[in-house]
């Protein structure tokens, strides 16, 4: 059986097919199972998509511990995040031993070839969530990931404005260069390759410093407030996406929404004119065939966080701006402020004045 024009050739095996994935043959059962009912897209369509963008998705995942977001019955069915490497995973897919904030640990899959991505798609994986580390050093991130998340009342255009100012902030503090991509929804992600010299806590501190500087420059449009009740109609810089075990969907990942959108890497000159809904399972292969991976040079760079960490030190020393709350499932972290919603925080009792006889 031949695929659609421009897609790989597959060989039928009863109700299964074998799909060639960059030198690896991967068996796909139930290839006609519909994963996206509104589009009529099947498991085979998703697997062929990942083969078509193989060099790009592999660049984003290579040697990274990766959590799988699985939809075995398609986007209308139940889903779950699989952190531990599946027991039936073939021995040609390596793993890395990672430790969660709870202190528990696990072995996670680390794709080193396109076949691993297709193998995961066979089991209903739509979105890949790689850690910002490599398997040879799982405690020191090599990417600073900045998530510009539109809150109610804002949209992609607002995220674009914030992204341009963020680009200026990064350049000003250490000559950092970011690579932008759509989230697959309304937001934008900006990834900065960094030297793997800092801990997760330090990288998170750098993200907070960048977010605070962006908020200072765009106070009416950007917020770094963790509590939703304090954000308003602004772009939220989700600094906690840099905390240990918090991950962002990889470039080229399929997102679990009815139209099968994908997280699309962009060049900066495209950010203003990009229409996120135009990047999906059916359209991205043609773009990739024409342009290749527009983020292919990311691994050629590794920047320093010293300037952002110095900014964080000044913020704390000069303005009393210390740490911010962690997500609720994390243990209490050193230096963290009270993790309580402001509207529920106990108000201090007024001081009692002198009594009169």
pLDDT by residue (tens digit) across 123-153? 999 999 999 999 999 999 999 999 999 999 9
Beta-bridged to residue 28, according to DSSP, are: 17
**Quick one: tokens of 305?**
């966080």
**Which tens digit of pLDDT belongs to each residue from 197-223?**
999 999 999 999 999 999 999 999 999
Q: Does 357 have pLDDT greater than 50?
A: no
Percent of the chain with pLDDT over 90: 87
pLDDT classification of 333: cutoffs 50, 70, 90: confident
Q: Does 3 have pLDDT greater than 80?
A: no
Task: Name the residue with tokens 């696990």.
Answer: 106
What is the rounded average pLDDT for all residues in the chain?
93
Sort strands 105-109 and 235-237 into parallel, antiparallel or unpaired. unpaired
Torsion angle of C-alpha atoms 330, 127, 59, 40, degrees rounded to 10: -170
The span from the CA of 176 to the CA of 172, in Å, is 8
The span from the CA of 211 to the CA of 324, in Å, is 12
Give the Cα-Cα-Cα angle 334, 336, 342 (nearest 5 degrees): 160
CB 57, CB 50: distance < 8 Å? yes
Q: Does 11 have pLDDT greater than 70?
A: no
pLDDT at 343: 79
pLDDT at 341: 80
How many residues are there in the chain? 357
**Which tens digit of pLDDT belongs to each residue from 70-97?**
999 999 999 999 999 999 999 999 999 9
* Region class of 8: left (phi > 0), else alpha (psi between -120 and 50), else beta: beta
Sort strands 10-13 and 235-237 into parallel, antiparallel or unpaired. unpaired
Give the Cα-Cα-Cα angle 150, 156, 161 (nearest 5 degrees): 90
């Amino acid at each position: 059986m031949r695929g659609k024009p421009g897609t790989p050739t597959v060989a039928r095996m009863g109700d299964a097919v074998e799909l060639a994935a960059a030198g690896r043959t991967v068996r796909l059962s139930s290839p006609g199972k519909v994963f996206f009912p509104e589009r009529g897209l099947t498991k085979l369509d998703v697997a062929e998509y990942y083969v078509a963008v193989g060099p790009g998705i592999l660049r984003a995942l290579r040697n990274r511990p990766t959590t799988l977001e699985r939809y075995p019955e398609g986007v209308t069915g139940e889903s779950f995040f699989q952190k531990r490497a599946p027991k039936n995973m073939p021995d040609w897919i390596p793993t890395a031993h990672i430790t969660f904030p709870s202190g528990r640990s696990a072995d996670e899959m680390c794709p080193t070839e396109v076949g691993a991505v297709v193998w995961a798609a066979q089991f209903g994986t739509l979105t890949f969530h790689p850690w910002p580390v490599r398997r040879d050093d799982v405690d020191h991130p090599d990417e600073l990931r900045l998530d510009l998340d539109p809150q109610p009342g804002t949209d992609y255009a607002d995220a674009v404005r914030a992204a341009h100012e963020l680009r200026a902030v990064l350049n000003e503090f250490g000559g950092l260069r970011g690579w932008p991509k759509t989230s697959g929804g309304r937001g934008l992600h900006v990834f900065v390759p960094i030297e793997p010299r800092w801990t997760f806590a330090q990288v998170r501190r750098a993200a907070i410093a960048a977010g605070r500087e962006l908020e200072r420059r765009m106070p009416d449009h950007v917020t770094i407030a963790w509590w939703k009740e304090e954000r308003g109609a602004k772009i939220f810089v989700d600094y906690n996406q840099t905390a240990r075990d918090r991950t962002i969907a990889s470039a080229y990942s399929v997102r679990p929404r009815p139209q099968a959108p994908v997280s699309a890497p962009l060049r900066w000159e495209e950010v203003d004119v990009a229409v996120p809904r135009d990047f999906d399972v059916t359209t991205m292969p043609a773009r990739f065939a024409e342009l290749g991976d527009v983020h292919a040079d990311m691994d050629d760079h590794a920047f320093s966080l010293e300037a952002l960490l110095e900014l964080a030190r000044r913020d704390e020393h000069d303005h009393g701006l210390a740490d911010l709350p962690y997500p609720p499932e994390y243990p209490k972290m050193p230096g963290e402020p009270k993790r309580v919603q402001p509207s529920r925080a106990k108000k201090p009792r007024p001081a009692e004045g002198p009594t009169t006889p």
